[in-house]
Structure 1
Amino acid sequence: MNASNSPPTLAPPVAPGPLEWLRKNLFSNWFNAVLTLASLVFLYFTLVTILRWALFSADWQPVTYSPLLFLVGQYPRAQLWRPGLSLLIGTFLIGMSWGLWERYIKPFAIFFAILLTILAIFPLKTPTITLSIRAVFLASPVLIILGYRIGRLPAVKGKYVITMWLLAAIFITLVLLPGLGNIPALPKIATTSWGGLLITLLLAVGGITLSFPIGVLLALGRRSSLTVVKLFSIFFIETIRGVPLVTVLFMFSIILALFLPAGSRIDRIVRALLAMVFFSSAYTAENVRGGLQAVPPGQAEAAKALGLSNFQITTFIVLPQALRLVIPTIVGQFISLFKDTTLVVIVGINDLLGISNAVLNLKPQFVHLQMEVYLFVAVIFWIFSYFMSYTSRELEKSLGIGKR
């Protein structure tokens, strides 16, 4: 065939312009046009009203009066270098995670760096935010950028960063924040002094990290051929799922002490964490079990035909596919666990919500400013929940969930 007789090459379709997109999606007919205009008017007046109230009418003095209470509670002010060092370690690891998993961590890392920069330079009229605290806030974005540069190096692997996260979590929660009694530089600090966002993040991160592997084991145990393992898993899951989280919190905080030997005592933060881990692991187990049931049996049969053991089939064939299928529900459970940390205020732990209630009672003029304080707390929870949801969506896209 001659080159002159070859079919002409078709140019790719031109993307529609903004006006064409608006006409096609928002003004395609008279009903959509009316609905679009009504929605725009509603959004305009709603946003204007909210911004006018937030900028001119609202009194944010309870939030700006003592911001350290919202961050660390009554943690001794002379030992604030410990939460500060924890923040610096965390921001550096966030930067390294950004360098390795840019698609998932980049928005949160950039937002966190900007937020810390604003906190460092914002002129709050409070003596509690000293120059040293502002210096820590200002150094954190620098460490995020430094960690990002290091994370981009070819020699840095994901397993190294995960190991660093685990070691940092153990060091911060077991050594740095509580202290060691035999070291004068690290005096012990009772957890009754901890509070605010510090407690909320400890319970949320600890609960998510510990409940996930326990939930996976319970899901596998419920499908086990061993009668004892199967019955125990069913009993645990159905018992925990049959009672509300408040009941589990009271059981671990009050009733658990009745079954311990005389003189023994478990820290109240640990008891609350155990309650949240047990509660979340039961729901995680059912989510994972749904994914396990969705994997076609032919996958395991083909693996057996190739000579793989049951452990290899579960670890390398069935479980990865099951977890891939239930990523949205697992992340939804993690977000629910993060928000459920507010219930620990019922058992006397001053998390972010508990500190908010305490701040409202600091001064008589703060009592009627509940709207501002609770809205501030709600925004904090929304920010963390949004970035968890965003990471879940990006992970689903990268794994091709919902596509064939």
Structure 2
Amino acid sequence: MSDITANTPIHGSSAPRDAPMATTGPIAWLRANLFSGWLSTAVTLLLGYLIVRAVVGIVDWAFINAIWSVPLSPTGVAQTQVCRDLQGAGACWAVVTEKHRFMLFGTYPYEQHWRPAIVCLLFIGLYIVSAMRRFWNWTLVPIWIVTLTAIGILMWGGVLGLPYVPQERWGGLPITLILATFGLAFAFPLSILVALGRRSSLPAIKVLCVVYVELIRGVPLISLLFMASVMFPLFLPEGMNIDKLLRAQIAIILFAGAYLAEVVRGGLQALPKGQYEAADAMGLSYWQKTGLIILPQALRLVIPPLVNTFIGFFKDTSLVLIIGIFDLLTAGKTAIVEPAWQGFGVEVYVFVGLIYLCFCFAMSKYSQGLEAELNRHRRR
């Protein structure tokens, strides 16, 4: 009998075959999840029909039958009758084309709109740089200082040949970004201190932090804004006045700090007791233990609720309209006060909503990536 080596092919053998498409792959997933029975099939077909109808209707309204511009009369007034003739069959995006600068920049001087436009780009650039982990060190501090100084110079002016623009003329997207950025930037470290204070062994500090959190969370943000705008100046010395925007900013910081403090406290309580005991066994001081061991782990655990709170407060900046500050949403509402454009609020709100969606969706996607990266060691 001759020897058969391991490399000698066996006659009649065939290569391994793939599993049938009916048991693996997309077809198997569809059969298991969407067409597993007659009831599942009926629901799938009904929902598919409704989705197709909705998508076709939205495409017809937003694109096919939409009007993107309208002619102007000899006096420069927009002739919107062509939009009204559609009777809702198509969108009148001409209102966005005509009023987009007012919605984005409010009553800021028209010839100076390039300044708030650059401010918006600086904010976006600041967010991008702050999101990069390579800058998570002390180099981020001068970047923030330089960027915020440039933003202040551009918005106020009065130097470098720029005309001075009072805060009463500010509005639109820059106001929303200013309130959200400064509000969350100052509220986050405040929330960490309050969360640590609620777990402190010193009764006075613990009671003070508990009273602050419960008091702030027990009232709506509108009431805080109203008090900051109307009642707070009554307690100031005679002749002293604080800008309305700064008062609204302080109210937002205090409100956001109370909510974020509870999120951070949840992360602190989620850590096992062994982490605290191990840090004590190493002989670390309280602040060394907190900054090097406890806080990094606690914040890693609460990334989703933290970002969810960030998104909520980014949208809540629209409530400043109650004290007469022209944020993005308020500027959009004011843009359709003109009689020629009344009745086209849907298009304006869609435009404003898309801007909010872009910022909120970016925060959501970044938090998902950051959570996956920081919790990579937990995967098994």
When normalised by structure 1's length, the TM-score is 0.77
1:318 and 2:326 aligned: no
Q: State the AA in 1 paired with 2:171.
A: G
Q: 1:163 aligns with which of 141, 146, 153?
A: 141
Partner in structure 1 of residue 27 of structure 2: 19
| Aligned-partner Cα distance in 2 for 1:280–1:247 | 14
| Distance verdict in 2 for CA 1:157–1:216, change over 3 Å | closer
Partner in structure 1 of residue 348 of structure 2: 373
Partner in structure 2 of residue 382 of structure 1: 357
Partner in structure 1 of residue 375 of structure 2: 400
| Distance verdict in 2 for CA 1:327–1:309, change over 3 Å | same
* 8 Å Cα contact 1:199-1:351 kept in structure 2: yes
Instruction: Give matches, 1:325-344, under 5 Å.
Output: 325-344=301-320
Partner in structure 2 of residue 252 of structure 1: 228
**Structure 1 position 170, deviation (Å):** 2.0
| Distance verdict in 2 for CA 1:23–1:161, change over 3 Å | farther
| Aligned-partner Cα distance in 1 for 2:268–2:117 | 43
Q: C-alpha deviations, 1:279-310, integer Å up to 9, x for none?
A: 01001101111111111111111111121111
| Distance verdict in 2 for CA 1:255–1:294, change over 3 Å | same
Q: 1:31 aligns with which of 23, 39, 42?
A: 39
Which has more radius of gyration? 2
* 8 Å Cα contact 2:126-2:147 kept in structure 1: no
1:203 and 2:236 aligned: no
Partner in structure 2 of residue 304 of structure 1: 280
Partner in structure 2 of residue 267 of structure 1: 243
Instruction: Give matches, 1:163-312, under 5 Å.
Output: 163=141, 165-180=143-158, 183=159, 185-312=161-288
Partner in structure 1 of residue 87 of structure 2: none
| Aligned-partner Cα distance in 2 for 1:260–1:160 | 37
Q: 2:49 aligns with which of 31, 38, 41?
A: 41
| Aligned-partner Cα distance in 2 for 1:336–1:54 | 28
Which stretch shifts more, 22-31 or 222-231? 22-31
* 8 Å Cα contact 1:356-1:373 kept in structure 2: yes
**Structure 1 position 333, deviation (Å):** 0.8
Partner in structure 2 of residue 132 of structure 1: none
Please give the root-mean-square deviation of Cα atoms over the aligned residues, in Å. 2.6
**Structure 1 position 346, deviation (Å):** 1.0
Q: State the AA in 1 paired with 2:107.
A: Q
Q: C-alpha deviations, 1:224-283, integer Å up to 9, x for none?
A: 122222121111111101111000001111111011121221111111111111001001
The alignment of Structure 1 onto Structure 2 pairs a total of residues equal to: 338
Which has more helix, going by share of residues?
A: 1
Q: C-alpha deviations, 1:366-390, integer Å up to 9, x for none?
A: 2211222222222222222122111
| Aligned-partner Cα distance in 2 for 1:288–1:272 | 24
1:68 and 2:101 aligned: yes
| Aligned-partner Cα distance in 1 for 2:281–2:130 | 40
Partner in structure 2 of residue 83 of structure 1: 116
- Unmatched 5+ residue regions in structure 2? 7-15, 66-89
| Aligned-partner Cα distance in 2 for 1:27–1:389 | 32
| Aligned-partner Cα distance in 1 for 2:135–2:318 | 36
Q: State the AA in 1 paired with 2:221.
A: L
| Aligned-partner Cα distance in 1 for 2:216–2:369 | 32
**Structure 1 position 403, deviation (Å):** 4.9
Q: State the AA in 2 paired with 1:387.
A: A
| Aligned-partner Cα distance in 1 for 2:297–2:30 | 40
* 8 Å Cα contact 1:240-1:279 kept in structure 2: yes
Which stretch shifts more, 29-38 or 324-333? 29-38
Residue identity (%): 42
- State the secondary structure of the residue aligned to 2:40: helix
* 8 Å Cα contact 2:120-2:173 kept in structure 1: no
- State the secondary structure of the residue aligned to 2:372: helix
Q: State the AA in 2 paired with 1:325.
A: L
**Structure 1 position 203, deviation (Å):** 0.9
When normalised by structure 2's length, the TM-score is 0.81
Which stretch shifts more, 77-86 or 187-196? 77-86
**Structure 1 position 84, deviation (Å):** 3.8
- State the secondary structure of the residue aligned to 1:85: helix
- State the secondary structure of the residue aligned to 1:254: helix
- Unmatched 5+ residue regions in structure 1? 5-10, 102-155
- State the secondary structure of the residue aligned to 1:159: coil
| Distance verdict in 2 for CA 1:387–1:34, change over 3 Å | same
| Aligned-partner Cα distance in 1 for 2:355–2:223 | 26
Partner in structure 2 of residue 153 of structure 1: none
Partner in structure 2 of residue 130 of structure 1: none
* 8 Å Cα contact 1:292-1:318 kept in structure 2: yes
- State the secondary structure of the residue aligned to 1:217: helix
Which stretch shifts more, 345-354 or 183-192? 183-192
| Distance verdict in 2 for CA 1:259–1:91, change over 3 Å | closer
| Distance verdict in 2 for CA 1:347–1:90, change over 3 Å | closer
Q: State the AA in 1 paired with 2:110.
A: R
